[in-house]
Amino acid sequence: MSEQTIEIIKQIRHQHPGNLMARHFDEHLYRQFDAAKRQRFDQMIASGIENRDSQMGIYAMQPGDYDDFAEMIDPMIRDFHAIKGEIRQQHDWDTTAKICDLGAIDPRLKDVSMRVRVARNVANFPLPGAMSRNERVEFENQAVAAFDQLIANPTFGGSYLSITPGSAHEISAQEYERRVAAHQMFKDMSADKYLNVAGISADWPHGRGMYVSSDQDFLVWVGEEDHLRIMAMQHGGNLNALFARLHDGLEVLSQLLPAFATSPAYGNVTSCPTNLGAGMRASLHLQLPKLAADMDNLKQQAKQLGLAVRGAGGEHSGAGAGGLVDISPSARLGVTEMQIMQRLYDGTAQLWAMENR
Ligand code: DAR
């Protein structure tokens, strides 16, 4: 990185205070890096420099990046996740301890669209931002070998749909579009300027695909922002059953794949620091026509409740018809899976009460 780039980061710090990479970039620490470490770090923050409006502005490129650059990255992670004390990610999947039935909040909430996903990266490949096309396809092939065994499982049997040109599992462009419209398959990542500069969307669509169970409620994205996005999607109100479905599938799949990348402090290693820890995003779609009439105000109010709000069309989308919005707990690091489930339940109850006041 040139002296000019260091000056640019200082400019970003003043012009875009929300860019946490720029806010916490420590040039004295950076100057202590050797050439190889500087090259690694330059790659990690390229998106945050190019995209000055970034929220985080940094992506991990190797499984060990968070531990290797902890001194520089820790303040950025603490700032985003609002953590002051020791960071020691814990895990709790005991879905029987506390019943979270949305229908108990209001009978009108007994049939909503619910989704919970975890991000995972395997330790024996670079993360998506630093993969070559061959590595993307090789990883996909390793994932397919695991799916071939999952297909035989009576509760998770299904099929793998690849968008890699020439793959034995390649689907048509029409089928891909149908799956995207059904909110199952991820969109063309090359439309995301942050992922483009970070290299995470490179070689699209090579090495990308999706496993979907026969009952369509257990899905695995291959080659999106992380190596794997493992998710359960259900219509209903029983959060316990949704989380149990995900956990059971994650347990089966983790026996079939190479070891996942983890950090002693930060838990599951993810491309973006916003997903560290549980690596979990739990969300549901709510019709909030009154509150969603002013999305900025709704986002502010939800933030007070520890919730993030976005349109039902995904990150960067607006409210849908009838004020349909996607709500999810913001915290992912330093909270367990069951705490996230509880926060989703409690946050839904609070927003629903505000909507129906
Ligand atoms: N746009 C990037 C990432 C923000 C969080 N969203 C993710 N990881 N999909 C930024 O640094 O602003």
Q: Is residue 222 part of a domain?
A: no
Atom index in ligand 1 nearest the CA of residue 59 equals 11
pLDDT in tens, 44-53: 999 999 999 9
Q: Is residue 320 part of a domain?
A: no
- pLDDT of 88 reads 85
The stretches in the chain having pLDDT less than 50 are none
Element (H, E) at 11: helix 3-15
- Best mutation site among 24, 52, 53, 56 for ligand 1, i.e. most ligand atoms within 8 A of its Cβ? 56
Atom index in ligand 1 nearest the CA of residue 53 equals 12
Q: Is residue 70 part of a domain?
A: yes
How far away, in angstroms, is 29 Cα from ligand 1 center? 24
- pLDDT of 127 reads 98
- Best mutation site among 272, 315, 326, 328 for ligand 1, i.e. most ligand atoms within 8 A of its Cβ? 272
- pLDDT of 235 reads 96
- pLDDT of 321 reads 85
Q: Is residue 311 part of a domain?
A: no
Contacts of 118 (CB under 8 A, 6+ apart): 229, 230, 231, 246, 250, 268, 278, 279, 280
- pLDDT of 85 reads 86
Q: Report the number of distinct structural domains present in the chain.
A: 1
Q: For residue 51, what are the domain limits?
A: 2-81
- pLDDT of 55 reads 95
Q: Is residue 128 part of a domain?
A: no
Q: Alpha-carbon distance 160 to 164, whole Å?
A: 12
pLDDT in tens, 332-356: 999 999 999 999 999 999 999 999 9
Q: Is residue 9 part of a domain?
A: yes
Contacts of 277 (CB under 8 A, 6+ apart): 81, 89, 266, 267, 268, 332, 333, 334, 335
- pLDDT of 312 reads 76
Q: Alpha-carbon distance 242 to 236, whole Å?
A: 9
**SS3 of residue 117 by DSSP:** strand
- pLDDT of 2 reads 75
Q: Is residue 232 part of a domain?
A: no
Q: Please report, for the chain, how many H helices and E strands are present, in that order.
A: 12, 10
Q: Is residue 15 part of a domain?
A: yes
Q: Give backbone dihedrals phi and psi of 325, rounded to 5 degrees, phi first.
A: -130, 160
Helices 35-50 and 3-15 pack at an angle, to 10 degrees, of 40
Q: Ligand 1 within 6 A of 315 CB? A: yes
pTM of the prediction? 0.94
CATH number at residue 53: 1.10.135.10
